[in-house]
Chain A
Amino acid sequence: MTHVLKIENLQVAVEGKPILRGVDLEIKHGETHALMGPNGSGKSTLGQAIMGHPKYEVTGGTITLDGEDLLEMEPDERARAGMFMAFQRPVAIPGVKMADFLRHSTTNVRNPERKEGEDLIPMKDFRRELKDKMQQLQMDMEFARRYVNDGFSGGEMKRAEILQLAMLQPKFAILDETDSGLDADAVRLASESIADIGREKMGLLIITHHDKLLVHNPPEFTHVMLGGRLVETGGSELAEELHANGYERIRAAYPEAEAENLAMAGE
C-alpha cells in the first residue's frame, strides 16, 4: 500500500485571524513536493497545522494519513503515525542532551504503543545507529552530548533537524526552510543529506524560498501559495521559473489572493 497524506479544503486561523483559506494537497509516499510563495502567504502555517501546533486552529477541512484523521490526534500521536516536520526555528531545550531526547523520540516513533515509563531502545543499539547516522551527516559525536538546540549556530540547528529526520524515518516529512540561514556549502550538504535520507523513501513537502534545496531534490510537483491558497501547481519547471523571475507573474495573475496576502503580511 502506498501511504497517502491528503489535505482537503483546509482552513486555519491563528488567534481568530484566518490564514489558510481552503488548501487542497495530496502527497504520496516517495513523492517530492515543493511549496513556494512570498512571505506571509501561509506556507509555515500549513506545516504547523499538519503537525498540530495548538496555536493553529483548524476551522474547516480535513487532513488524513492513509485515511486516518490526523486532526483527531495529538502532536505526539501524529509523530508516531509517521509525520515529521523540520522546524524553521527549532527551540532550545536547556539541560536535555540531544542523545537522550533522540532516544526517547526514536523509541516512541518506532513503538507507537509504548507507554510512559516502558523500556527505551537498548542504549548500545541506539548509540551504534546514532553514530552511523551522524557520520553519514558528517557530524561530530560530541554533538549528541550537547543540549538540544542550546547555543547552536543556524547551521547546527538545521543539521540537527536533518539528523532527527534520519533517525525517525517518517512516512511524510515537511521541511520548513531547512536551507535558510545557511551558507552555500551548508546548503549543499543539507540538500545532499535530504536527498540521501528522504528522496523516494518518504513523502517530502519542501517549503523554500530558494531553489538550491530543489536542485538535489527536484520536485515532481511545485505548489505556489498566495494569500492562504494554493493558486498554482506545476512540475519542477515552475520552481525554476519562480526562482528566476520571482512572484510578479503570480501576484498579477491572482489579484484576489494577492490582496489577502498583502492584508496578512501587513499585520
Chain B
Amino acid sequence: MATDITPDKNAEAESIGEINKYDFRTETEAVFKSQKGLNEEIVRQISAMKEEPEWMLEFRLKALEIFESKPMPEWGGDIDINFQDIYYYLKPTDGQEKSWDDVPEEIKETFDRLGIPEAERKFLAGVKAQFESEVVYGSVAEDLEKQGVIFTDTDTALKEHPELLREYFGTIIPSEDNKFSALNSAVWSGGSFIYVPPGVKIEFPLQAYFRINAQNMGQFERTLIIVDEGAEIHYVEGCTAPMYSSDSLHSAVVEVIVKKNARCRYTTIQNWANNIYNLVTKRAVCYADATMEWVDGNLGSQLTMKYPAVYMLEPGAHGEILSIAFAGNGQHQDAGAKLVHAAPHTTGQIISKSISKNGGRSSYRGLVRVEEGATHAKNNVVCDALILDPESRSDTYPYIEIMEQDVSIGHEASVSRIGEEQLFYLTSRGLSETEASAMIVNGFIEPLVKELPMEYAVELNRLIQLQMEGSVG
C-alpha cells in the first residue's frame, strides 16, 4: 500500500538546490506536526504530501471556496463546531503517539463485553494506526484481482487508476452539494475505492474491515464505488465496536455508480463515541434495471446527519434504503433517506426504524421525488419509531415531491412506546426488565437485522443488549 507519505530525508537534502516542491515539502514536514485549522495553505499541504495530480489540488481548492461560502445548514441538528480547532490531516504515524491509557474506561469495557480481539481494540481506539489484516485479506485480494476487481484505498487509487478517478470522482456528489460535502472535498483522505468489471459477481460481502487502517477510516474519508454493467457487489463498512476518536468531526462522502443490470448493496454499521458529529453524504446513481440498496445502521455519536440517496436515472432502476437509528442519552440521530425517480418504471422503497431512549432524540428525514416524465414510478416509505421512555423523542419529516400523475406512492409512519403489557408478559416468564426491553427492541429492528451479514447481526443484537442495560427502571 502506498500510504507512506512521510517525506523522505534524501528528498529534503536534495531540496537545498531546488526552490519548488522539495522546499515546500520540507516546510510541510516542519509545520505539519500538529497544526489545527483550515485554510488554503493547509489544503495545498495535504495535496502536496499526497503527491496528487494538479486537477485534484484544484478540485480541493475550489471545494474549500465553496465550503467557506456556504452557511451552516439550518435544519437537522444543532451543530456547534469550531472548524479552526480541528486537525484536517494526520499522518498515519501520528495515531501511534496516543496511548492505550488515554482511551476512556467505558470504551475499553465495551470492547471487553463485545469480545473484540486485542489487536483490533488498539486500532479501533485509535491507538494503533495500522491493523494487521494482510493474513486474512491476502487470499481474498488475490482472488479479486484475478477477476479484475480493484479494491484499494482512495489515495492509492488516485495514483494507480487516475483515469477512473478523473472520470467519476466528485460526479455523483459535487462539492456544491452541501457544506460538509464541500469540506470533505477540500480535505479528504482515505476511504475505499472499488471497481467491479462488467459481469463480475462477488459472492461474499466485501468488507472494509479486511483493510482496516487509518486511511480507510479517517475523519474525512472518501469512498467511490463503480459497479460496471451486470456486476454485483455487497460492500460492508464499519463495525459495531465503538469507534473512539479524540477528533470531534467525522464527515465522509460516499459515491456509488451502479450501471445497467448491476447490483450494489452498501451496508454500514457505525457506533461512534458520544463526542462525535457524524455528518455524512452518501449517494448512488442507478442505471437501467440496476439495483442499489443502502443498509445503514447508526448508533452513538452526538449528532448524526445522514440520508443515503439513490437517483434512479433509467427505466427499471430500483433503489432501496433500510435505515436503523438508535439514539441514547445526549444523542441525536437525524437519519433518513432520499429517493429520486428520474425515469419511468423505476421503483423505490424506504424502511426506517428508530429507537430513542434515555432522553435520546431520533428523527426520520426523508425525501421522495418523482420527476416529470417518470411515469409508473412506484415508491413506498415505512418509518417506525420506538420510544423507550417519556424523556426521549422522535420526529418524522417526510418530504414528497411529485411532478408526474401516473405514479404510485405510499407512506406509513408509526410511533410506539414499549408497552407495559409487553414488558409484563415477558417479565412474568422470567426475563429481567432489561432483557425484556432489549428483546422488544431487537424484535422491532429484526426485519432490518436479518438483512445484515450474520456476524454483524449478532454483534448488533449484543450491542443493543448493552445499550439497554440500566435504561429501564
Contacts and interface: CB of A to CB of B under 8 A. Distances in A.
A117 B469 CA distance: 10
B435 A116 contact: yes
Contacts of B430: 76, 79-80, 104-106, 108-109, 168
State the 4 A-B residue pairs at the shortest beta-carbon distance, nearest first. A95-B443, A95-B446, A108-B430, A96-B443
Interface string A140-156: 00000001100000000
A90 interface: yes
B442 interface: yes
B37 to A, nearest CB: 45
Nearest to B419: A91
A221 interface: no
A108 B431 contact: yes
B432 interface: yes
B442 A79 contact: no
B425 interface: yes
A93 B428 contact: no
A104 B428 contact: no
A147 B443 contact: yes
A168 B447 CA distance: 28
B34 interface: no
B469 A74 contact: no
A79 B106 CA distance: 33
B421 interface: yes
Interface string A45-62: 000000111110000000
B444 interface: yes
Contacts of A84: 428-429
A164 interface: yes
A75 interface: yes
Contacts of A94: 443-444, 446
B424 interface: yes
Contacts of B427: 74-76, 79
B420 A55 contact: yes
A126 interface: no
Interface residues of A, number: 33
A85 interface: yes
Nearest to B443: A95
Interface string A20-58: 000000000000000000000000000000011111000
A101 interface: yes
Contacts of A90: 425
A52 B428 CA distance: 8
Main secondary structure of the interface of B (DSSP, over half): helix
Given A95-B443, A104-B435, A168 B424 contact: no
B273 interface: no
Contact of A104 (B113, B439, B443): B439
Contacts of B465: 116-117
B75 to A, nearest CB: 31
* Max chain B C-beta neighbours (<10 A), residue from A55, A85, A148: A148
B421 A96 contact: no
Contacts of B446: 94-96
Chief secondary structure at chain A's binding surface: mixed
B434 interface: yes
Interface residues of B, number: 28
Interface string B436-448: 1001101111110
Given A101-B439, A105-B429, 14 more contacts: A51-B424, A76-B431, A79-B429, A91-B425, A94-B443, A95-B443, A95-B444, A95-B445, A96-B440, A105-B426, A108-B430, A116-B465, A116-B469, A168-B430
B422 interface: yes
Nearest to A83: B428
Interface string A105-118: 11011000000110
A93 B469 contact: no
Nearest to A95: B443
B289 interface: no
A87 interface: yes
Contacts, number: 88
A176 to B, nearest CB: 12
Interface in B455-470: 465, 469
B428 A54 contact: no
Given A55-B420, A93-B422, A76 B432 contact: yes
B433 interface: yes
A120 B447 CA distance: 24
A34 B49 CA distance: 84
A197 B26 CA distance: 83
Interface string B316-333: 000000000000000000
26 contacts: A53-B428, A75-B424, A76-B428, A76-B430, A76-B432, A76-B433, A79-B427, A87-B425, A90-B425, A91-B419, A91-B422, A91-B425, A93-B443, A95-B442, A95-B444, A96-B442, A100-B439, A101-B439, A104-B430, A106-B430, A108-B432, A109-B430, A116-B435, A116-B469, A147-B443, A164-B429
Contacts of A148: 443
A85 B421 CA distance: 14
A105 B431 contact: yes
Contacts of B447: 95
Contacts of B422: 91, 93
A158 interface: no
A78 interface: yes
B424 A116 contact: no
B438 to A, nearest CB: 9
A17 B420 CA distance: 19
A126 B82 CA distance: 56
Nearest to A78: B428
A87 to B, nearest CB: 7
A100 B446 CA distance: 13
Contacts of A109: 429-430
A94 B441 CA distance: 10
Contacts of A96: 439-440, 442-443, 446
A96 B431 CA distance: 13
Contacts of B113: 117
A127 to B, nearest CB: 18
Given A91-B419, A117-B465, A79 B428 contact: yes
Contacts of B439: 93, 96, 100-101, 104
Nearest to A105: B429
Contacts of A80: 430
Contacts of B433: 74, 76
Contacts of A147: 443
Contacts of B425: 87, 90-91, 93
